Amino acid sequence: MRILPAQALRVLAACGREWQDAGMNGIAGIELGGTKTVVVLGTPGAIEAREEFPTTTPDETLNRAIATVRGWQQGRTLEAVGVGSFGPIRVDRAAADFGVMLDTPKQGWAGADVAGVLEAALGLPLGLDTDVNAAALAEHRYGAAQGCANTAYITIGTGVGVGLLANGVPVHGLMHPEVGHVRLRRAAGDAFAGACPFHGDCIEGLLSGPALAARFGRHPATVEASDPAWHPVALDLAELLAMLLLAFSAQRIVVGGGVSNRQPHLLPAALDRLPGLLGGYLRDCTPAALARICVPAALGDDAGPMGALIVGADLR
Ligand code: ADP
Ligand code: ZN
């Protein structure tokens, strides 16, 4: 038997999926973010309709998502709902508290039965993963991480989260990875105490949108790219990239989320500092290779919602 090269196998696999997806009735996808919720109708790879609203209380937010999906169900049979959620949330289907929000710093959400409420109201099979694992799946299938078995997707938004695909499969394990709450070496002379209510200066406490607002004393959107205030932030991101290369042997690290997508200077500034942090230890990580490995999200703000559609579709 002739062995097909990996590239050809990938193309065949992708075509097979598109034929399958073409015959699909439609999936609802819900990306629950710390600031906003995005509800989409479509099939993996094709968003047909989209609603976006602020994430407020669990009741209000989930009811709004339910009303949106029910509206679409009037004209169309949906096969499943896929949810990509901020966390921590129980993603182990076998657990008694599957789909329940755990110790989240987001006010009012700890203990919310996200999956139970959605399943009961919509009567659809429900798939659930973290927002970042969902986004990693979308970037892996359609975006910047195609062909990369070990992929990390970093979101820098309301919080900092990292989705991990090992051999193409989302990592869950004990709960799910919570890389945003790891503490890393701080930039010399950076006295900012950090903004995480649990750990102070963990990665999320240093890099998230609210952490940047606390660090700068104003909204990060108002701080010029050339302002030296960004220097320690770039170093913190570089530490995170170095850790993912070393701990997870990531072949691609996709950097997305509201902060990164709107501050495009941040990733190149982190890349400038990365070789210094690695100290020449990873021989494959030349500056040119690092720029190919650590890339902005190709799907932009659609990575999460498209990932939610994949999570729903993959239930079949
Ligand atoms: P979510 O975390 O709800 O998924 P996003 O990924 O869009 O939402 O991230 C929202 C965060 O992005 C907020 O903390 C906000 O302050 C921050 N943000 C929005 N615009 C900018 C900008 N121009 N520069 C830096 N940060 C921004
Ligand atoms: Zn923390």
Q: How far is the CA of 300 from the centre of ligand 1 (A)?
A: 13
Q: How far is the CA of 8 from the centre of ligand 2 (A)?
A: 42
Query: What are the tens digits of pLDDT across the range 217-230?
Result: 999 999 999 999 99
The beta-carbon contacts of 284-287 under 8 Å, at least 24 apart in sequence, are 285/245
Level-2 CATH architecture, domain 144-297: 2-Layer Sandwich (3.30)
For the CA of 37, the closest atom of ligand 1 is 3
CA-CA distance, 127 to 310, in Å (whole number)?
A: 9
Q: How far is the CA of 99 from the centre of ligand 1 (A)?
A: 25
Q: Give residue 75's pLDDT.
A: 84
Q: Does residue 14 carry a pLDDT above 60?
A: no
Kindly state if the Cβ of 84 falls inside 6 Å of ligand 1.
Answer: no
Computed on alpha carbons and rounded to an integer, the radius of gyration of the chain in Å comes to: 19
CA-CA distance, 63 to 214, in Å (whole number)?
A: 32
Kindly state if the Cβ of 33 falls inside 6 Å of ligand 1.
Answer: yes
pLDDT bin (cut points 50, 70, 90) of residue 10 is very low
Query: What are the tens digits of pLDDT across the range 89-122?
Result: 999 999 999 999 999 888 999 999 999 999 999 9
List the structure tokens of 5. 């090269």
Among all ligands shown, which has an atom nearest to the Cα of 197? 2
Query: What are the tens digits of pLDDT across the range 240-295?
Result: 999 999 999 999 999 999 999 999 999 999 999 999 999 999 888 999 999 999 99
Beta strands in the chain (DSSP E): 27-32, 36-43, 46-54, 80-85, 126-130, 151-156, 160-166, 169-170, 252-256, 294-296
User: Where in the sequence of the chain do the CATH 3.30.420.40 domains occur?
Assistant: 6-131, 144-297
Query: What are the tens digits of pLDDT across the range 30-64?
Result: 999 999 999 999 999 999 999 999 999 999 999 99
Q: How far is the CA of 241 from the centre of ligand 2 (A)?
A: 17
Kindly state if the Cβ of 194 falls inside 6 Å of ligand 1.
Answer: no
CATH class of the 6-131 domain in this structure:
alpha beta
Q: Give residue 19's pLDDT.
A: 41
Among all ligands shown, which has an atom nearest to the Cα of 84? 1
List the structure tokens of 197. 């209510």
Q: Give residue 23's pLDDT.
A: 55
What mean pLDDT value characterizes the chain? Answer: 92
